[in-house]
Every structure is written in C-alpha cells, then in structure tokens.
C-alpha cells in the first residue's frame, strides 16, 4: 500500500523541517542528461521531495551504463528519460516528472527549459556540456545552473568539489579527470559528483547560495 501524498510530505517534513519541505515541494528542476550524473541527481531530488522534475535525454540504456546509472537490467534498450520516469514513480509517486526524449541543441534549449528556474547539466561529452552552459548563461540569465565536470578515474573522491563560478552558475567535479584519458569511470565517484550537484540544487531552493 503506497502512502498518501500527505504521508510523504509529513515524513519528509519531519526530516527537513516543514518550511523547507514546502519550498522543495514547490520547486521545479530540469535535469539535462539521464546518465550517471542525471539519473542519480534526479533520484536524489525526488527522494528529497522536489515537486516537479523534467528529464531530458535522447539515448537508450545499454549494459555498459549499469555500473553507475540508476536503471535495471530489464530496462536495457529503453529510452533513459522514460525508464527514469518509471523508476522515479516507484520511489516518489507524487513527484511530477516529465520525460522528454530529445537531443538538446542551441536552438531548442530555451523552449525545453522554460518554466524551470534551476537546471542541472548532466551530459557526458565535454562539447555538449559547454554548449548547454553557454546557451543557458547567454540566453537565460535568471536560471540557476549546476553543471558537472571531472568525475572519471579512480582518483580520490575528496578531489570532487562544488565551485561557484558566477552568481547563478555552479560547477561540481574535480574539473580535470576526463573520461577520454582512459582512466575509467567508477560508479561511486560519479555518484559523488551527482550528489554534489543534487545537494547544490537543494541549497539553492533553500536560499543558501554559498558553497
């Protein structure tokens, strides 16, 4: 038996405080990319009681994703955005999730992210990350942007940090270790970066802007 919406709210309010929980419930966050960063960010935000999430990803789940991405073996072949929506529903049934199977481009970014004052960049390719960050900072100056860069390799998890680059642009990662260097991509370390991003989002919603 699934608890009611009120039961969920009260359980979270007992952990976070009622005033803060109201802010989380009223928040809308877009997650661009539903891979190692995005799937973990979305789950953390849904578990915290964020009211509305938009998941945007064009890709399908592959067996190589399962070391770090929040999917199940029987979901291989499905679109990530849609599979993540299903998984989020099992975790947080009252979180309003929109799944968009689309490739984000400079042309569609503003329309896709309209109505979402907080955006997480959770792509894997460096060029795509730069494209999204530039497009948002240039065209959506009111948007809070939380991006990830540098979580590959088995280097210490402690190297992963959150930096505040400008008033509305936060960057999480070690800023250095590129997956293209061939040093591997370890689920736990990717999760550390995703947790930095998700936690930064919660702090922004709470009105805490320092890092």
The CA angle 172-104-55, to the nearest 5 degrees, is 65
DSSP class of residue 19?
A: H
- For residues 86 and 124, which CB has a smaller minimum distance to other proteins in the complex? 124
For residues 158-187, which are near other proteins according to CB under 8 A?
165-167, 169, 171, 173, 175-180, 185
At 71, give phi and psi (nearest 5°): -125, 165
> At closest approach, how far in Å is the CB of 141 from other proteins?
8
The CA angle 160-161-166, to the nearest 5 degrees, is 140
Binder of other proteins out of 42, 81, 150, 170 (CB under 8 A): 150
Alpha-carbon gap, residue 31 to 101, rounded angstroms: 12
- For residues 27 and 172, which CB has a smaller minimum distance to other proteins in the complex? 172
Alpha-carbon gap, residue 3 to 179, rounded angstroms: 41
DSSP class of residue 29?
A: E
- For 113, the token pair is 């992210």
Binder of other proteins out of 71, 79, 123, 144 (CB under 8 A): 123
Does 36 sit near other proteins (CB under 8 A)?
yes
Q: DSSP H helical segments within 93-186, as ranges?
A: 109-113, 126-139
For residues 50-109, which are near other proteins according to CB under 8 A?
none
- For residues 21 and 39, which CB has a smaller minimum distance to other proteins in the complex? 39
Binding segment for other proteins (CB under 8 A), chosen from 7-15, 47-55, 76-84, 126-134, is 126-134
Footprint of other proteins (CB under 8 A): 33, 35-38, 122-127, 129-130, 133-134, 137-138, 147-152, 165-167, 169, 171, 173, 175-180, 185, 190
């Amino acid at each position: 038996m699934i608890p009611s919406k009120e039961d969920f709210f009260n359980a979270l309010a007992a952990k976070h405080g009622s005033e803060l929980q109201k802010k989380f419930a009223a928040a809308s966050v877009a997650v661009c990319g539903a891979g190692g960063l995005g799937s973990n960010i979305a789950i953390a935000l849904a578990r915290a009681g964020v009211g509305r999430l938009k998941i945007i990803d064009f890709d399908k789940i592959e067996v190589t994703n399962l070391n770090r991405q929040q999917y199940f073996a029987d979901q291989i072949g499905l679109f990530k955005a849609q599979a993540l929506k299903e998984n989020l529903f099992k975790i947080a049934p009252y979180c309003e999730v929109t799944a968009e199977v689309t490739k984000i481009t400079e042309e569609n970014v503003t329309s896709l992210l309209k109505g979402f004052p907080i955006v997480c960049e959770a792509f894997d390719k460096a060029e795509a990350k730069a494209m999204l960050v530039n497009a948002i900072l240039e065209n959506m100056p009111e948007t809070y942007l939380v991006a990830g860069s540098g979580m590959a390799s088995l280097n210490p998890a402690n190297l992963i940090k959150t930096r505040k680059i400008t008033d509305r642009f936060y960057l999480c990662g070690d800023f250095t270790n590129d997956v293209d260097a061939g040093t591997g991509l370890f689920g736990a370390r990717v999760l550390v970066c995703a947790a930095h991003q998700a936690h930064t989002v919660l702090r922004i919603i709470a009105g805490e802007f320092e890092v």
